[in-house]
């Protein structure tokens, strides 16, 4: 079967132009751009008429038809045999596959080919003309040619001559004849009345022809009996009258009966279809060159020139490419080459009557090609191919012809000339990329579910950014090289389009973003990375543009992910610092400070505080916030302030050491009598014999006792030891080897990071916890002093302040104090951290010796000492000293000696007689060495005891149990005596 041009589409006339409309499905179907005939003629009718015209041109005696613009070449030898030497020059140029026409003839069982078929045989078979029909046509046209010899040369209307010379007897039955006759009459109607080359429907010749055609149909039997009947003569006269009308005001030796548009286009397209294989779609016959040469001889009859030939042949080739399932790439390339020829032909030489055909044909081809190019990622999922390149060439070629030559739009002054290939490809790229991006969005959820091994699938925008990046690289690798032929920076346009597509989704997310979360950070990072890659592609691809790619970059307004990250990070820093402060206030109020909460005896709240601080740093460094060092300083300052607050509240609730020291009793002189001493000796003895251990521990269970204060001290010490680690984390936070935190609740949690690498790089002072360090240093000192003085002045008050040396030294020695101090040292050893243990013991030692001096110098009226008590006091002081030395296992001896030096110095005064003490006192007061009867003021108490201090000497005299001291104090200071 010979290929035919299917009538799938239609043309709708709009004014003087034809608009292409495709019917059928939106698949690979391709409509016919040639407007349909307004006469009832089928494809078979057109095909048979085309063959009849071809035979008329190549009869036994060649019939010459000339147009105004051409002269026909001499008739070729159409009877030459087909041989292997008749290779097609066109096929060689484009590498087209072929199937021999002779083999097709042999495969067609309905025909009986000659042994050596000719080109005429090939054409007959290709156009599905039977031997009987061909014989009938040739005989009739031979008779017409014989008659032509007596008439003017070149005047023949093929349907008219066939009607004149073929009767019903030439057909097998009447029905076939009537069908044939009506076809011939409809051809005349189409060519002379409905679609004439010479416009104008009025006039007597038109009315006469219409009447003749009606009469011919009604009286065909009569006309057949007398071929020169009145009806036939009327038809001939009317047809010739129409065919010989002047075209463009000129008359010539030619007839216009089949050269009107679109009849001539339908007929010529049917002839061109004979070049293609009748079975295998998309393949040409081996005799294509010879067939084309024969077809070209019909140009005079059909009013075809080189431009129209190339246009229609480009269309037929393109249609055959589509019919082949878009596999015959060479046909597409040949169609492309013909478009180039048309562009050359019409450049400044386009005829007005050719415009409708060119516009409809190239619009249809462009429409079909662009429908695939506007979504070329779907049309060519494997990447650009020869087919895509061919369709690009066809679409761009059609667009250039239509816009530069056919449309003839006037260019306004100052308007820049449009680069049509670049503008069209730009449209294709943007459209296809947008379509592909929409498909990426539809598959995001499926892609998210494909992620395995994670705590949770990544956010949709992260997956979309990753897919977009992969898509962009694929575009650059697989499509841009082909598109660059027409668009030098097609890859950059694709990148800019992807940037815009993702920007729309990202901006929508930003508008609803309110808090810094793991998803937020991941999305901002992904958007920032995607933008950098896309901008990089655009810059690299458009580097050779006239403007260096600036116009393309202007199409890519920044996502401002960094600004959004900065705003969110700043907001997060502020909120985080505020929440940490609130958390500290709440938890420190709930803290029990109980020993034994953990093996190191520090508060659980400190562990949580440090965890929150460390987690905050990890969270900050997990954000893409490296460009915001000021925010890091703000965060560290806030965390430092929070830790300082924790330390301050831990210390302040315990008070200072001064709260435990009772006020000094008023200075009095001792009343010396044995009964008084005896009574106080009894009280002192009985006081000493009370259960001192029970007394010392009676207050040990409250939140401010020694073990609980040791927990506070340990807590501050633990925080202090962790500050260096936190500062290292701050310094190394943006290094690549830092661990990535994982989600915990709304905000970031973390996996325990690896120990940061040791570095000698000095840490920026603005990124340290100096306020916390200072608060810890001061706080630990205050807590240690408070704990030590609490033990001495509160826990041991009964036996130390109120019991030691009361009444009589010999009966209330320091042994019971030492016993309880030993217990306290055990508590310190059990509850305090090793790093602060000696400091606590040292503070306790200092408090003990301070208290001892207070007992000796400000013990109140219950303490009275004699010279002979000095040795006992020294022994007690030595025993207290040995307690803290612990046979070399306690405090360093130098530290102990330093603390003991002052009490030892003061004790030398207790060895001196009262007279000597009086002399020393008077000398220190500037009163000379003799006793004066003059009274003078008591020296002020400075609290800084010393053997050279007047107040210290005076206090020793006040506690001296002898008459000399009593008389001196009474005489010089009128000092009252102690109450009995």
The CA-based angle 799-801-802, given to 5 degrees, is: 65
In a 3-state reduction of DSSP, which class is residue 17?
strand
Q: Residue ranges of the domains in the chain? A: 410-559, 575-860
Distance between CA atoms of 164 and 52, rounded to whole angstroms?
14
Q: Which of 585-589, 614-618, 678-682, 879-883 has the highest mean pLDDT?
A: 879-883
Structure pTM?
Answer: 0.67
The strand ranges marked E within 668-762 are 743-744, 747-748
Is residue 598 pLDDT above 90, yes or no? no
**450-485 pLDDT per residue, tens:** 766 556 788 899 999 999 999 999 999 999 999 999
**Residue 699: its pLDDT value, please?**
39
Q: Give the CA radius of gyration of the chain.
A: 59
Q: To 10 degrees, what angle do helices 355-373 and 329-346 make?
A: 140
Continuous H helices in 561-705? 561-590, 604-622, 629-652, 674-688, 692-697
Cα-based distances in Å from 259 to 11, 197, 364, 730? 19, 6, 22, 89
**197-239 pLDDT per residue, tens:** 888 766 778 888 898 898 888 765 544 544 457 888 889 888 9
Other CB atoms within a 10 A radius of the CB of residue 540 amount to 15
H or E element in which residue 284 lies? strand 284-285
Q: Which of 338, 342, 361 is nearest to 351 (CA)?
A: 342
Other CB atoms within a 10 A radius of the CB of residue 683 amount to 17
User: b/e for 388-400, b at 16 or more Cβ within 10 A?
Assistant: bbbbbbbbbbbbb
Q: How far does the chain reach from its first CA to its final CA, in angstroms?
A: 148
Q: Which of 617, 613, 634, 644 is nearest to 730 (CA)?
A: 617
Distance between CA atoms of 440 and 377, rounded to whole angstroms?
12
For the record, the structure tokens of 87 come out as 């290779």
Per the CB < 8 A criterion, the answer to whether 264 and 78 are in contact is no
Q: Three-state secondary structure along 351-383?
A: CHHHHHHHHHHHHHHHHHHHHHHCCHHHHCCCC
Q: Three-state secondary structure along 97-114?
A: CEECHHHHHHHCCCCCCC
CA dihedral 945, 951, 954, 959 (to 10 degrees): -50
What percentage of residues in the chain have a pLDDT greater than 70?
A: 79
Is residue 730 pLDDT above 60, yes or no? yes
Other CB atoms within a 10 A radius of the CB of residue 44 amount to 12
Distance between CA atoms of 968 and 965, rounded to whole angstroms?
5
The CA-based angle 189-191-196, given to 5 degrees, is: 115
**864-918 pLDDT per residue, tens:** 899 999 999 999 999 999 999 999 999 999 999 999 999 999 999 999 999 999 9
For the record, the structure tokens of 893 come out as 């001896």
């Amino acid at each position: 079967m010979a290929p035919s041009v299917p009538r799938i589409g239609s043309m709708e006339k709009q004014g003087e132009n034809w608009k292409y409309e495709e019917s059928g499905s939106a698949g690979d179907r391709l409509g016919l751009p040639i407007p349909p005939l307004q006469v009832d003629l089928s494809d078979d009718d057109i095909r048979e008429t085309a063959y009849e015209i071809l035979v008329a041109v190549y009869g036994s005696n060649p019939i010459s038809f000339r147009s105004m613009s051409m002269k026909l070449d001499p008739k070729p030898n159409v009877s030459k045999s087909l041989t292997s030497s008749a290779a097609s020059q066109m096929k060689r140029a484009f590498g087209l596959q072929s199937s021999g026409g002779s083999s097709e003839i042999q495969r067609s069982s309905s025909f009986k080919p000659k042994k050596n078929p000719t080109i005429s045989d090939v054409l007959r078979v290709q156009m599905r003309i039977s031997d009987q029909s061909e014989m009938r046509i040739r005989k009739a046209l031979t008779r017409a040619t014989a008659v032509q010899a007596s008439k003017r040369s070149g005047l023949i209307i093929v349907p008219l001559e066939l009607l004149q010379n073929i009767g019903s007897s030439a057909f097998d039955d009447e029905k076939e004849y009537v069908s044939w006759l009506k076809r011939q009459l409809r051809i005349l109607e189409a060519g002379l009345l409905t679609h004439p080359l010479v416009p104008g429907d009025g006039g007597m010749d038109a009315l006469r022809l219409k009447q003749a055609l009606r009469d011919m149909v009604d009286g065909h039997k009569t006309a057949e009996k007398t071929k020169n009947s009145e009806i036939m003569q009327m038809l001939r006269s009317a047809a010739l009258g129409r065919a010989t009308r002047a075209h463009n005001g000129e008359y010539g030796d030619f007839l216009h009966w089949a050269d009107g548009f679109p009849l001539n286009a339908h007929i010529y397209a049917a002839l061109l279809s004979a070049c293609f294989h009748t079975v295998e779609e998309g393949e040409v016959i081996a005799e294509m060159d010879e067939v084309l040469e024969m077809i070209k001889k019909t140009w005079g009859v059909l009013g075809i020139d080189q431009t129209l030939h190339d246009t229609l042949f480009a269309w037929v080739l393109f249609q055959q490419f589509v019919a082949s399932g878009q596999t015959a790439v060479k046909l597409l390339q040949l169609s492309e080459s013909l478009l180039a020829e048309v562009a050359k032909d019409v450049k400044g030489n386009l005829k007005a009557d050719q415009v409708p055909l060119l516009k409809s044909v190239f619009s249809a081809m462009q429409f079909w090609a662009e429908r695939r190019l506007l979504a070329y990622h779907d049309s060519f999922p494997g990447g650009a191919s020869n087919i895509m390149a061919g369709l690009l060439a066809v679409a761009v070629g059609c667009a250039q012809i239509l816009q530069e030559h056919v449309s003839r739009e006037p260019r306004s002054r100052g308007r820049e000339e449009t680069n049509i290939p670049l503008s069209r490809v730009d449209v294709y790229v943007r459209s296809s990329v947008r379509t592909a991006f929409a498909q990426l969005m539809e598959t995001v959820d499926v892609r998210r579910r494909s992620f395995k091994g994670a705590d949770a699938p990544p956010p949709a925008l992260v997956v979309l950014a990753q897919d977009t990046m992969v898509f962009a690289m694929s575009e650059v690798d697989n499509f841009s090289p082909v598109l660059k032929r027409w668009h030098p920076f097609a890859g950059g346009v694709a990148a800019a389009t992807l940037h815009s597509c993702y920007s729309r989704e990202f901006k929508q997310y930003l508008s609803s973003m309110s808090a810094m979360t793991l998803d937020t950070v991941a999305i901002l990072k992904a958007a920032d990375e995607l933008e950098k890659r896309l901008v990089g592609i655009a810059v690299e691809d458009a580097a050779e543009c006239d403007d260096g790619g600036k116009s393309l970059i202007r199409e890519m307004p920044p996502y401002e992910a960094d600004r959004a990250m900065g705003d969110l990070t700043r907001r997060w820093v502020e909120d985080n610092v505020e929440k940490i402060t609130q958390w500290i206030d709440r938890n420190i109020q709930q803290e029990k400070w109980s020993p034994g909460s953990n093996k190191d005896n520090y508060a659980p709240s400190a562990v949580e505080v440090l965890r929150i601080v460390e987690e905050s740093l990890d969270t900050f460094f997990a954000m893409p916030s490296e460009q915001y060092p000021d925010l890091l300083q703000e965060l560290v300052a806030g965390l430092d302030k929070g830790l300082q607050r924790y330390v301050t509240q831990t210390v302040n609730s315990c008070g200072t050491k001064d709260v435990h020291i009772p006020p000094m009793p008023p200075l009095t002189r001792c009343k010396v009598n044995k009964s008084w001493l005896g009574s106080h000796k009894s009280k002192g003895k009985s006081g000493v014999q009370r259960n001192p251990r029970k007394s010392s521990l009676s207050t040990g269970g409250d939140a401010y006792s020694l073990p609980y204060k040791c927990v506070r001290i340990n807590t501050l010490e633990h925080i202090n030891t962790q500050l260096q680690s936190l500062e290292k984390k701050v310094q190394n936070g943006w290094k690549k080897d830092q661990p990535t935190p994982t989600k915990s609740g709304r905000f970031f949690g973390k996996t325990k990071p690896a120990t940061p690498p040791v570095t000698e790089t000095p840490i920026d002072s603005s990124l340290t916890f100096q306020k916390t360090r200072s608060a810890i240093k001061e706080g630990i000192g205050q807590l240690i002093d408070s704990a030590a003085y609490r033990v001495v002045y509160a826990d041991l008050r009964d036996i130390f302040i109120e019991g030691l040396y009361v009444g009589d030294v010999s009966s209330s020695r320091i042994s019971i104090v030492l016993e309880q101090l030993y217990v306290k040292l055990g508590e310190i050893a059990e509850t305090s951290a090793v790093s602060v243990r000696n400091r606590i013991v040292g503070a306790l030692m200092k408090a003990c010796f301070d208290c001892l001096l207070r007992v000796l110098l400000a013990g109140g009226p219950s303490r009275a000492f004699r010279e002979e008590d000095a040795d006992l006091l020294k022994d007690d002081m030595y025993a207290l000293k040995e307690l803290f030395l612990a046979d070399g296992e306690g405090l360093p001896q130098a530290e102990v000696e330093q603390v003991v030096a002052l009490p030892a110095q003061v004790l030398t005064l207790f060895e001196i007689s009262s007279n000597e003490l009086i002399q020393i006192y008077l000398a220190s007061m500037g009163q000379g060495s003799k006793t004066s009867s003059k009274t003078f003021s008591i020296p002020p108490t400075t609290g800084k005891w010393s053997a050279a201090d007047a107040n210290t000497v005076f206090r020793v005299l006040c506690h001296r149990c002898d008459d000399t001291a009593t008389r001196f104090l009474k005489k010089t200071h009128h000092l009252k005596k102690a109450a009995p």
